Amino acid sequence: MNILDKIVIDKRKEVDLKKQLIPIEVFENTPFFNHKTISLSKKLRSSNTGIIAEFKRKSPSKSVINNTASVKDVAIGYELAGVCGMSVLTDEIYFGGTLDDLITAREHCNLPLLRKEFIIDEYQILEAKAFGADAILLIAAILTRAEIKQFSELAKSLKLDVLLEVHNEAELQKSIMPSLDLLGVNNRNLKTFELSLETSKSLSKLIPDDFVKVSESGISSIEAIKELKPYGYQGFLIGENFMKTDNPGASATEFIKSLL
């Protein structure tokens, strides 16, 4: 059993408990449920940097990354830095995140917000909209093709962008469908945690141009982005590189200045 399998087992328990405690009607009556979303895919298509900056306290591979940063300060800092979007981890057990982080980010910036979560139930998509998300992440490795279709179509009906994450060709081939906006290639091998940009390079030619191509994990240098742009990538998800510093917003500012 790899780490993703363990996360999904815990996530199913968590979602089942939440469904007993908080009915969907509560989400539908929140102020943010009907807010006008900001399209992450459109922002990336018109950007010359493509940076999606992440708020992440810890991860299974690195343990604690930054447990003192304030979501409010980071959200404001990322927006001032000129990033295209902000990814907010909402998994508590493995990543130290909460839905409060998402709503705090929404209250303090006008960036497209991606809820980065292990989505295994429609309930979490409604929850994402209620807490201010503009986009959701779906992970091909933990979903069937039917689930990807079901979840992405629900997200589209809520005006949420959908980023579908794949790790290999098999996941990509089962996932391509019109209800997706962005296709993300994770450069991290889930079994070994090794990183390789070759994953993004090799899968790039299999991703139709209808989708915004996003490279995830291991993007820690200007060189990596310059290396991947010729392969058609318009989005670059960067988390640890900014979050491991004392001031993620300032770190993102310097990074983007160097990139331009």
Q: Which of 213, 258, 211, 219 is nearest to 238 (CA)?
A: 219
Which pair of tokens denotes residue 217?
């994990």
User: Which residue out of 79, 171, 216, 240 is catalytically annotated?
Assistant: 216
User: Which residue out of 79, 117, 127, 165 is catalytically annotated?
Assistant: 165
Question: Any idea how long the chain is?
Answer: 260
Q: Which of 143, 159, 194 is nearest to 42 (CA)?
A: 159
User: Which residue out of 43, 56, 129, 213 is catalytically annotated?
Assistant: 56
User: Which residue out of 66, 87, 186, 200 is catalytically annotated?
Assistant: 186
User: Which residue out of 41, 43, 54, 251 is catalytically annotated?
Assistant: 54
Q: Taking a C-beta distance cutoff of 8 angstroms, is the pair 129, 158 a contact?
A: yes
Distances (CA, A) of 133 to 35, 40, 63, 80, 130: 10, 11, 26, 19, 8
For 161, phi and psi rounded to 5 degrees? Answer: -75, 155
Q: Taking a C-beta distance cutoff of 8 angstroms, is the pair 140, 108 a contact?
A: no
User: Which residue out of 187, 217, 241, 251 is catalytically annotated?
Assistant: 217
> Which residues are CB-neighbours of 197 under 8 A, at least 6 positions away?
187, 215, 218, 224, 227, 228
Note if 254 is an active site residue. Answer: no
Q: Taking a C-beta distance cutoff of 8 angstroms, is the pair 40, 112 a contact?
A: yes
Note if 216 is an active site residue. Answer: yes
User: Which residue out of 43, 59, 66, 116 is catalytically annotated?
Assistant: 116
Note if 79 is an active site residue. Answer: no
Note if 127 is an active site residue. Answer: no
Note if 116 is an active site residue. Answer: yes
Q: Which of 131, 172, 98 is nearest to 26 (CA)?
A: 131
Residues with catalytic function: 54, 56, 116, 165, 186, 216-217
